[in-house]
Structure formats: C-alpha cells, structure tokens
Amino acid sequence: MHIKINESSFSKEELLTIIKTSKLEAIKYIKENTGIGLKEAKDIVDSLDENPNCFDNRTIRKGTTSSFNREKEDFSISEERGNKGSHFIKSNHSLKKYFIVGIILIVILIAVFSNS
C-alpha cells in the first residue's frame, strides 16, 4: 500500500519502519521529499504512529513551504499597509517607555509633596 502526500507517493511499510526507528527521521524524510512544512510533516507522522491505517485510500494535501513563504510575504504586506488588527502587534519599546515615564512622574510627585 502507498501513502500519497501532495504529488509524492511513499510505501506505507517503509514509512512505518522509519517511524518505528525514529520519528524525527520520519519527519525529516517526509518534509524533504514533499516540500511541506515541519508541523505538517510532524502531524502526519504522529497520525501514522497512532493509527497506521488512518491515511488508507486517501491523498494527503498539505501546503508546501513555498506556499508558507508566500503567505508570510502577504502578511508582511498587510502589516505595511496598516490594516485592521495591526494595533495588536506591539513592541516592548512602548511598554518600556510608559514604565520609565511612570517612574519619573512618581519621583516628581514624591519630590513635590515631600517639600510641602
């Protein structure tokens, strides 16, 4: 029996043997031979480890790392445009600035009220 991932076909017995030997090697093997991402390869290996028959008579369709890079580029473009939701991504610099300003205000208040 064969397992088909995107356009690549693998011997089910070969994959199960690699998984039994080393899950990490199986993940690398699938990732390198299909072009899918690390998480997708790990999900496939984990599913096969739990149930060797889970992908029988099915083709597994997963995004390739090149499609991930395209999505990543699209995300960076939307960040530059300042689309909705971009206000949720804040840097730690603004938090540090507010902290320092708060400390300075407290010191000023203490100095004013201690002289009174």
pLDDT in tens, 49-86: 898 888 776 777 776 554 445 444 444 444 444 455 55
Average pLDDT, the chain: 76
pLDDT in tens, 11-30: 888 989 999 999 999 999 98
Residue 45 contacts by C-beta under 8 Å, 6 or more apart in sequence? 19, 23, 26, 27, 30
pLDDT of residue 65: 54
pLDDT of residue 71: 45
Share of the chain above pLDDT 70, in %: 70
